[in-house]
Structure formats: structure tokens, C-alpha cells
Amino acid sequence: MLTVNCPHCQQPLAVPEQYAGKVGRCNQCGQSFTVPPSPRGATPVPTANEESNRATTAPWEKEQESREAYWEQWGSEEKQKRAQGEAEHARRAAQWRDVAQTVSCTATDKQVCFLLDLGVSPKRLQGITERQASELIDELLQHNG
């Protein structure tokens, strides 16, 4: 068993050595902290007494594992969303390039792309000026908003 003081409230805590180097939570103040490494440098096999105390200390380990699992799952979901977003962006960029070749106008590239995203047909964009594009964007946003 390690005896450590909470770095936040200085409450002495008895912590099984197997939790050395892991994040724990103080029973007194509820703040999280990293349990200092064992002075022996090895993780001993828990005794029967430590096993019975495990019920009171295991929640931090479970909380840590739960947090790690959540972030791992969140990370893979974010990667998937990012990949879908990149694919959608590539699709729209290709669509814009196709339209840009057929549309002759003085509107900015951003305006043309935005209007395409709003569902405006390429035929309607033919010959549109930058000012007309701005007015059309405002009109569509007010109508849809």
C-alpha cells in the first residue's frame, strides 16, 4: 500500500501500489491527480486485504478506462466524419469545376460554389454578376432561414 497526500487538499490516502502512475480521484475533495510511482518500481501482486479494498479504489481505474474507451471511440468517429466531409468537399469541388467551365459570369468563385450548394441551377448562374450573386444569396438565405 502507498500512502500519498492529495496534492489539492493534502488528505492522506492509502492507495494500492498497483495504481501507482495512474490517475485517481481524492475521496475527500474529489479532485483528480496522478498517483506517484511506487518507490519499489514494481507492481506487486495484491494481497487479500488489498483485494477487499479494491472495491473502494477500483472506480478510478474504471473511470479512467471508461474515459479512454470514450475518447478512442470518439476519435474513430471523428476520423470517419472527417473522411466523409473531405469526400463531400471533393464532390462539390468537382461539380464546381464542371459548372465553371460552362458558366460565363463575373461572380466570385465562392459565390458560385455557395449558390450551387444552395441548389441554384448552373443555367441560372449564366451571366450573373457579383452584385446579382450577392443579392441572390441574400434572397435565398432569407427565404430558407
Give the highest mean pLDDT range of 1-5, 44-48, 130-134: 130-134
CA angle 122, 125, 130 (to 5 degrees): 145
Higher-scoring residue by pLDDT: 89, 118: 118
What grid cell was written down for 21? 502512475
Q: Answer for the pair 57, 15: CB distance below 8 angstroms, yes or no.
A: yes
The whole-angstrom distance between residue 54's C-alpha and the CA centroid of its chain comes to: 32
pLDDT tens, 33-86? 888 887 664 445 455 555 555 545 555 566 667 777 777 777 777 777 888 878
